[in-house]
Amino acid sequence: SSRTRRSSSRAAALLRLAAVTIGRSDTALGAFYRRLSARIGKQKAVTATARKIAVLFYNAIRHGMTYQDQGAAAYDERHRQRVLSNLQRRAKTLGFALAPIPETAAVS
């Protein structure tokens, strides 16, 4: 099932609270939360962001990895590049080629 079961875990509640709080910050996780909340709704975005925080926390504890936040602008640029490459790949499979719009035509 794609549904998340209800939980009375205090850790889960704290992770959800952290996800809501981080959604208002200018970080990569905040940009992730805002992008998801616009697309699938606030509750699902909170759950997804809480899970992402939990995975980062687990990796920090288990493997000693450090989390270096790149900021919302870097996240948005990476997301834009990913969407663009997906569009180019899809156009290529359909027999088309994407070309950027010249700067003078893009402004008007």
SS (H, E, C) the chain: CCCCCCCCCHHHHHHHHHHHHHCCCCCHHHHHHHHHHHHHCHHHHHHHHHHHHHHHHHHHHHHCCCCCCCCHHHHHHHHHHHHHHHHHHHHHHCCCCCCCCCHHHHHC
Answer yes or no: is 31 within a domain. yes
Answer yes or no: is 43 within a domain. yes
Answer yes or no: is 77 within a domain. yes
Answer yes or no: is 37 within a domain. yes
What residue numbers bound the domain in which 43 lies?
10-94
The pLDDT tens digits of the residues spanning 16-53 come to 999 999 999 999 999 999 999 999 999 999 999 999 99
- Express as a percent the part of the chain with pLDDT over 90: 69
Answer yes or no: is 83 within a domain. yes
Residue 105 confidence (pLDDT):
62
Domain count, the chain: 1
Answer yes or no: is 4 within a domain. no
Lowest-confidence segment of 7-11, 48-52, 54-58 by average pLDDT: 7-11
Residue 65 confidence (pLDDT):
85
Answer yes or no: is 100 within a domain. no
- What is the pLDDT averaged over residues 88-99? 92
Answer yes or no: is 34 within a domain. yes
